[in-house]
Amino acid sequence: MDADIKGHKNAGWDDFAGVYGPRRQAATVGKNARLAPDYVALHEFGHAVDDFDGITYSRNSPTSAALRDAHARLFPKLRTYIQQGEPGSDRGASELWADGFAAYYMGGKANVAANYDQEFADMMQQMLDAVAANAREEGF
């Protein structure tokens, strides 16, 4: 068993559709992702981008606050896994970012709007543009 999987005690990597482990800086798609492995891979890569760029984990950043606000606003329509606790929670905001990331790269801004709403789609577009600019500055 791999005890470093965020928030999951006595669970192994294959117990999940996908996992991102910040300590190892590794993402994996598990055997439970049979129905949508491409989406799961993008979701987990979204967590890696978050880890690199500090999108949801920098508590005082404007993007973190905006994602917590979006999570609270969208909470009633979110899948249970994306809810992750109370409306506006840090964990929920992290899952919302990763899921929005996957939705964007699976079908663009229109896909994000269809899955969530236009306001969140516009916000994801702005955040992804900022991530791309940051990556260019860092030489990626």
Answer positive or negative: Cα dihedral of 81, 44, 19, 48. Answer: negative
Give percent of the chain above pLDDT 70. Answer: 68
CB 36 within 8 A of CB 79: no
User: Which has the minimum average pLDDT: 57-61, 110-114, 130-134?
Assistant: 57-61
Q: Is the model's pLDDT at 6 over the cut of 60?
A: no
Answer positive or negative: Cα dihedral of 23, 24, 26, 29. Answer: negative
Write the pLDDT tens digit of every residue in 35-85: 677 888 888 888 888 877 666 666 556 678 899 999 999 999 999 989 988
CB 27 within 8 A of CB 47: yes
| CA 127 from centroid of its chain's CA atoms | 12
Supply the DSSP string of 68-123, one letter for each residue. HHHHHHHGGGS-HHHH-SSTT-HHHHHHHHHHHHHHHHHHHHHHHHHHS-HHHHHH
> How sure is the predictor about 13, in pLDDT bands with cuts at 50, 70 and 90?
low
- End-to-end Cα spacing for the chain: 34
